Structure 1
Amino acid sequence: MKAIYILLTNTGTFFNQAIKTVTDAPYNHSSISLDKEFRNLYSFGRRKPTNPFWGGFVKEDLVTGTFSWYPSSTCAVYKLKLPKRKFEKVERIIQAFEKKYKNYLYNYIGVLGVPLNRPIQVPASYFCSQFVAEVLTRAGVKLFDKESALVTPDDFRHAPDLQLVYQGRLYDYPFIHSKDNYYPDQYRSFPFRKYVRQQYRKGVWRTDSPYQHTYYFRDGFLKPKKIYLSRKLGKLKRFGKKLMS
């Protein structure tokens, strides 16, 4: 027997909160992992952390991906034991998705059909829980007596074949890989506005920081924000040069 893991999360994003107002469920995103460390974690969601409207098949990265923008995310982890042959079939199905990931889009329309109890299936399009349920169904693992396009993340919480192994803050999960990269408590009061002003003065006006302390983003957790902010500051700097030339 081998095990796969279903990860249910609540990041607190706008889209997540919008779904929560309809479902009234504690978790509104689901992913499937082939290992308990979440090194091989897959779902349908944002392809870029900064763009909630460009979605599709993603191999989720807890270090530099979308989750790293939301260090206070909560989660529930469920374990499902499978015979070796079915586990390998799940693995092959996911690999087929990954091989042609550019062909898949997020099924935004399908999400609207769930509260109406009307499955809306769009070719090569899935939403997160639909994808997880579809992979399991194709592998011969039937958890629900309904179509994959009607499965919600909350349905996994009530599936009798799943075993709850953890519930709490995502980055407190004891088996998460590269544990040393995660220190979410340090960033709850990070002086983001001061950091922006510091970077603006340094990058645009080339003046020293007026603050006695220099603020830095640590590699790992908030690195995506640093990269995104650096790009914005770079564009602003080039615009300032054009105005002064």
Structure 2
Amino acid sequence: MNHLNYVYIMLSDTGTLFTSLIKKYTKAPYNHASLSFDPHLKDMYSFGRKNPNNPLNGGFVKEDIENGTFSKYRNTLCVIYRLKVTDREKEKMKRILEVFQRNNHKFLYNILGLVGVSMKEPVEFSNSYFCSQFVAEVLNRSGIQLWDKLPALVTPEDFRENDRLELVYEGRLIDYISH
């Protein structure tokens, strides 16, 4: 049976120096994108800090709201969307994520990709992603095409502006997980 269910996309702003610098340039309220399979965001994935204390050590991360980077930034603001997907699309996403998890050490944070987005020129390296590029890539490889552009050009703001995503929550992350 191919009934519909959801995946969740969270956009966030931790308020760190790094995110403040990005925000100055993008003028967008959120600068980090994550993908989750459940509304409680227990299994959430992205490209970001591997160690909450070191913004320069980035790569593929399974994010943990209660103990990871987000736990250090109690006033993190977020917006959470859900996207209708079929069982098959969701299964494909999970298989793609298993590959990322198994090869975790091979993936790097695509810092140059951020520069590429700003110049509207995709900068792609194999095994290298920034957060919104990663989420868009997983969706794309699962057969879900939300935009007419390469994942390497997708920004968190593109998710906010996509009418296929349904708003679930906006506010402080800590208030969302505690309700």
Partner of 1:89: 92
TM-score scaled to structure 2, two decimals? Answer: 0.96
The letter for the 1-side match of 2:114 is V
Alpha-carbon distance, 1:95 to partner: 1.2
The letter for the 2-side match of 1:108 is I
Higher percent of residues as strand: 2
Higher percent of residues as helix: 1
Alpha-carbon distance, 1:14 to partner: 1.1
Alpha-carbon distance, 1:123 to partner: 1.5
Deviations 1:1-53 (A, max 9, x none): 11000000010011111110111000000000011111100000000011100
Partner of 1:199: none
The answer on 1:135 being equivalent to 2:138 is yes
Secondary structure at 1:114's aligned position in 2? Answer: helix
Q: 1:70 aligns with which of 50, 73, 82?
A: 73
Identity between Structure 1 and Structure 2 (%) = 51
Q: 1:18 aligns with which of 16, 21, 35?
A: 21
Partner of 1:30: 33
**Match runs of 1:57-206 below 5 Å:** 57-173=60-176, 176=177, 179=178
Deviations 1:153-187 (A, max 9, x none): 011001111000100011111xx3xx49xxxxxxx
Rg bigger for which structure?
1
Measure, in 2, the Cα distance between the counterparts of 1:129 and 1:51: 20
C-alpha RMSD of the superposition: 0.9
Partner of 2:56: 53
Q: Which runs of 5+ in 2 are unaligned?
A: none
TM-score scaled to structure 1, two decimals? Answer: 0.71
Q: Which runs of 5+ in 1 are unaligned?
A: 181-245
Secondary structure at 2:66's aligned position in 1? Answer: coil
The letter for the 1-side match of 2:125 is V
